[in-house]
Amino acid sequence: MTTFERIVQIKESKGAGYFVLIDPDKWQPEQIADLATEACEAGADGILVGGSLLLSSSFDELVKIIKKQINIPLIIFPGSTTQVSRYADALFFLSLISGRNPTYLIGEHVRAAPVIKALGIEPISVGYMLIESGNTTSAEFMSNTRPIPRNKPDIAKATALAAEYFGMQMVYLEAGSGAEMSVPDEMVTEVRDYVSLPLIVGGGIGTPEDAVRKVRAGASFVVTGNVLEKGGKRSLMREFAAAVHGE
Ligand code: 1GP
pLDDT tens across 43-72, in order?
Answer: 999 999 998 776 666 899 999 999 999 999
Residue in 205, 210, 220, 240 to alter for ligand 1 test, most ligand atoms within 8 A of Cβ: 205
**pLDDT tens, position by position, 203-245:** 999 999 999 999 999 999 999 998 988 766 779 999 999 999 9
The rounded Å distance from CA 10 to ligand 1 centre is 20
Which residues, listed in sequence order, are joined to residue 201 by a DSSP beta bridge? 173, 222
pTM of the model: 0.97
**Distance from residue 54's CA to the centre of ligand 1 (Å):** 15
pLDDT for res 55 = 65
Ligand 1 binding pocket includes 35 (Cβ within 6 Å): no
Superfamily of domain 3-246 in CATH is FMN-linked oxidoreductases (3.20.20.390)
Whole-number percent of the chain with pLDDT over 90: 88
Mean pLDDT in consecutive groups of 10 residues from the start of the chain, 247 residues: 98 98 88 93 97 76 94 95 94 98 97 96 98 95 96 98 98 96 98 98 97 98 91 86 97
- Which pLDDT score is estimated for 79? 87
The alpha carbon of residue 93 and the mean position of all alpha carbons in its chain are separated, in whole angstroms, by 11
Ligand 1 atom closest to the Cα of residue 202 is: 2
Does the Cβ of 224 fall within 6 Å of ligand 1?
yes
pLDDT of amino acid 51: 82
Give the Cα separation of 13 and 16 in Å (integer). 8
pLDDT of residue 52: 73
Count Cβ neighbours within 10 Å for each residue of 207-228 and write b for 16 or more, e otherwise.
Answer: ebebbbbbbebbbbbbbbbbbb
Q: What is the pLDDT of residue 231?
A: 67
Distance from the first to the final alpha carbon of the chain: 27
Contact 126 CB / ligand 1 (< 6 Å): no
**What is the structure's pLDDT at 216?**
98
CA-based nearest residue to 210, from 231, 239, 176, 235: 239
